[in-house]
Amino acid sequence: MIYNIPYIAVMLLILVGLYAVIAKRNIIKIIMGISIIESGVNLFLVALGYREGGLAPIFTNLPEKTQIPGQLVLPVPQALTLTSIVIGVAVLALMLALAVQIYKHYKTLDVRSVRRLKE
Amino acid sequence: MNDTSKIIKTISAIMFPFVTIYGLYVIMHGHLTPGGGFQGGAIVASGCALLVVAFGSEAIAKKVKESDLSILESVGALGFISLAFIGIATTFFYNVLAGRSGSLFGTIPPFGSNPGYLNSGGLLPLMNFAVGTKVIAGLFAIVLILAIATRKKGGRT
Amino acid sequence: MKTRTIVSLSVLILLGVFLIMSILPLSNVLRPFGDPENSDMDDYIISNAQNDTGANNAVTSVVFDYRGFDTLGEATVLFTAVAGVILILRRYAHE
């Protein structure tokens, strides 16, 4: 049970981020909660491709006497996580630009008072 | 009292070339050590963000116009796509420079552990340069536009 | 406390209990941490990356050679994000 610490950390990160999205009023704190959820998902994707006692899959100055496909960590989940991190940065930039636009129009950052589309 | 102090300006101006050289090293050795286009581009863009924070967005916006950054990003994207079209005779992303022993990045390293040879890798170092340029220009443009749009009259620029 | 806080906290507690009950027993009984089930594709990539692409780094050869389409899509997303940010904040940049 104690060896599943990466999965426990993923769960805690997703719960903390979800609490920040649901129960906070400031729009900047909601954006921070979305970024924390993305960090948890990237950690889950990398932790799926781990081998016990493995080395990085890079052949420059590898220590001698390592079995070549049997003792190296899988490289494909790392490549997919790289794409996911860059997409997270792109979405965060667009969210912050929209938050600046909301502030300049309504003069406040409270999400419960920016509902003029319903009136 | 609306500017940063003189210590911050001096140290940022000293640290910026070292951060840029380290980022370009990570981009160039992407096929030998951990790193590559996206990681090295993020390092150089964070050095440029240090300059924007230390000197204010007005002083940086006078020297760097956003149309120059837009041209640089388009050059990076078009370079990446044209490198993918070189080996169209076989497939879309074919690595044409990997096997020949006389071309630019052509040698094949021996199997297993070896000290890295910079002359290997085929089309991979050229693709690293194109993607690194694109990421540098894109992230620097985002930081500069967000800093200009949130200025206050009479406050820090 | 208001009803909104009570409802949100109870939803979160139920979601946490559900996640605990689903991830921990499944990940320790079916497949312990550090022992992936299907690794045939990754074994082939590690064994043949130096012959096919000529690079020492297996992760870079996966990103740019074996799965180059995903990198093309990611470059498009980054380009669209920069274009969107400049489009939204254009009227405050030319004061």
Domains along the sequence of chain A with CATH:
2-54+69-113 (1.10.287.3510)
Does the CB of C65 have a partner CB in chain B at under 8 Å? Answer: yes
**ipTM rounded to 2 decimals:** 0.88
CA distance C30 to C49: 31
pLDDT at A118 over 60: no
Asked if the model's pLDDT at residue A119 lies above 50, the reply is no
Place of tokens 């950052």: A109
Q: Are the C-beta atoms of A116 and A44 separated by less than 8 Å?
A: no
- From chain C, pick out residues whose CB is under 8 angstroms from the CB of A69: 42-43, 46-47
Closest residue in B to C51 (Cα) is B108
Q: Which residue did the predictor score with more confidence, C4 or A2?
A: C4
Q: What is the pLDDT of residue B103?
A: 73
**Contact A56/A73 with Cβ under 8 angstroms?**
yes
Q: What pLDDT is attached to residue C72?
A: 94
Give the pair of three-digit tokens for residue B140.
């620097």
* Total domains, chain C: 1
Q: CA–CA separation, B123 vs B108, rounded Å?
A: 13
* Structural domain boundaries, residue C5: 1-34
3-class SS of residue A110: strand
Chain A residue closest in CA terms to C46: A69
A100: left (phi over 0), alpha (psi -120 to 50) or beta: alpha
Tens-place pLDDT, residues B116-150:
888 888 889 999 999 999 999 999 999 999 999 99
User: Is C25 part of a structural domain of the chain?
Assistant: yes
Query: Which three-class secondary structure string do you get for A38-97?
Result: HHHHHHHHHHCCCCCCCECCECECCCCCCCCCCCECCCHHHHHHHHHHHHHHHHHHHHHH
C71, pLDDT greater than 80: yes
Q: What is the pLDDT of residue A32?
A: 97
Q: Do A1 and C28 touch (CB under 8 A)?
A: yes
Backbone angles phi, psi at B72, to 5 degrees: -65, -40
Domain ranges of chain B: 6-149
Residue C7 lies in a domain: yes
Q: For residue C17, is it within any domain?
A: yes
> Which amino acid makes up residue B21?
I
Residue C71: C-alpha distances to residues A13, A15, A84, B14, C62 (Å): 27, 30, 11, 35, 10
Q: What is the mean pLDDT of chain C?
A: 85
How many whole angstroms separate alpha carbon A27 and alpha carbon B109?
A: 52
Of B30, B73, B149, the CB nearest to C60: B30
| Paired residues of B107 in beta bridges | B120
**Average pLDDT score over residue span C10-38:** 74
Distance from CA of A59 to the nearest CA of B (A): 5
Give me the mean pLDDT over the B57-63 stretch.
91
Q: Check B32 against A97: CB less than 8 A apart.
A: no
pTM: 0.90
CA distance to partner chain C, nearest, from residue B135 (Å): 8
Q: Which H or E run contains C21?
A: helix C3-29
Q: How far is B114 from chain A (nearest CA, A)?
A: 5
Which chain A residues are closer than 8 Å to C32 by Cβ? 3
Chain A environment of B142 (Cβ under 8 Å): 93
